[in-house]
Amino acid sequence: MSSTDPKSGPAPVVRVDDVTVAYRSGTVALEGVSLTLDRPSICGLVGMNGAGKSTLFKTIMGFVEPTRGKVSIGGRPVSAAQKENIVAYVPQAEEVDWTFPVSVADVVMMGRQGRMGFLRMPGGTDRRLVAESLARVGMADFADRQIGELSGGQRKRVFLARALAQQASILLLDEPFTGVDVRTEEAIIAILRDLRAGGAIVLVSTHDLATVPAFCDSVAMVNRRLVAFGPVATTFTEANLSRAFGGTLHRFLPGHGLPAGPDAAAARGLALGAAG
């Protein structure tokens, strides 16, 4: 197991309890959402644009306060988990200021900050973990580049490296596969599987529905409310997907990306079933 895996055994339970989030604009992004992530696992988070996925991530991170309900991590408030740096977040690319003059290695070092002493001076362990994390995502040769000079897929990998360097036991990834090539997607999925093997809880949003059965243990479908949540085998069904995506479902299941094996037939059925 790599030293960028979480150190301290299985991740603590993440409990989202009856959470409603209303933004100041009046938009209700989430309404009465409850779910529990309670063992080393990869949970896929799916839903249409604007369904509330990013809001759910930000609420678990403590960036957004629920209007009603609460989130706890290991039975404690989110703020306690944040102090211990056990939750890592890979944001959507649009949420990052790419003009900020900072190198790739500096970005990944940010994942170490919460674990440094009060002087915030990187030590040998920090530098080693940054190098290892960059190597793990195939970006070792880019350490000295400015982040603004990277392609979209490379940026995703750098932010994944930052999360790895943090050695978090809970990882929240907002659309890590958007704009990345097939090899990078496979590499990211392999890393997520490694993290799960090391005891991590991974919550990952994606618009690529066809890959969900291939690497997720469970799936949460949102459409402001939680439409369905549970093991992929019983929850990733046409009925539930239709409830989450309505008549637009077929657009999210490209014919070339359907999973192999028994899931392929199911996914094709989903694509056809919702196309009309």
Ligand X SMILES: Nc1ncnc2c1ncn2[C@@H]1O[C@H](COP(=O)(O)OP(=O)(O)OP(=O)(O)O)[C@@H](O)[C@H]1O
- Given candidates 23, 39, 264, 275, which one binds ligand X under the rule CB under 6 A? 23
Largest separation between any pair of C-alpha atoms in the chain:
61
Crossing angle of helices 152-165 and 182-197, rounded to 10° = 10
Q: How far is the CB of 54 from ligand X (least distance, A)?
A: 3
Q: How far is the CB of 23 from ligand X (least distance, A)?
A: 3
- Given candidates 35, 51, 87, 195, which one binds ligand X under the rule CB under 6 A? 51
Q: Which stretch binds ligand X (CB under 6 A): 20-28, 103-111, 145-153, 267-275?
A: 20-28
Q: Which is nearer to ligand X, 59 or 169 (by Cβ)?
A: 59
3-state DSSP assignment of residue 215: helix
Q: Which stretch binds ligand X (CB under 6 A): 47-55, 71-79, 186-194, 238-246?
A: 47-55
Q: Which is nearer to ligand X, 236 or 252 (by Cβ)?
A: 252
Strand partners, 71: 16
User: Under a CB-based contact definition with an 8 Å cutoff, are residues 231 and 218 in contact?
Assistant: yes
Tell whether residue 55 is a contact of ligand X (CB under 6 A): yes
Residues 6 or more apart from 84 whose CB is under 8 A from it?
none
Q: How far is the CB of 47 from ligand X (least distance, A)?
A: 5
Residues 112, 116, 121, 127, Cα dihedral to 10°: -40
Paired tokens of 108: 């990944």
Tell whether residue 49 is a contact of ligand X (CB under 6 A): yes
Tell whether residue 99 is a contact of ligand X (CB under 6 A): no
Separation between Cα atoms, residue 150 and residue 269, nearest integer Å: 39
Q: Which stretch binds ligand X (CB under 6 A): 46-54, 65-73, 107-115, 192-200?
A: 46-54
Q: Which is nearer to ligand X, 175 or 185 (by Cβ)?
A: 175
Q: Which stretch binds ligand X (CB under 6 A): 19-27, 65-73, 129-137, 150-158?
A: 19-27
Indicate the DSSP class of residue 146: B
User: Under a CB-based contact definition with an 8 Å cutoff, are residues 209 and 237 in contact?
Assistant: no
* Strand 225-231, strand 218-223: pairing: antiparallel
> Which residues would be at the binding site for ligand X (CB under 6 A)?
23, 25, 27, 29, 47, 49-55
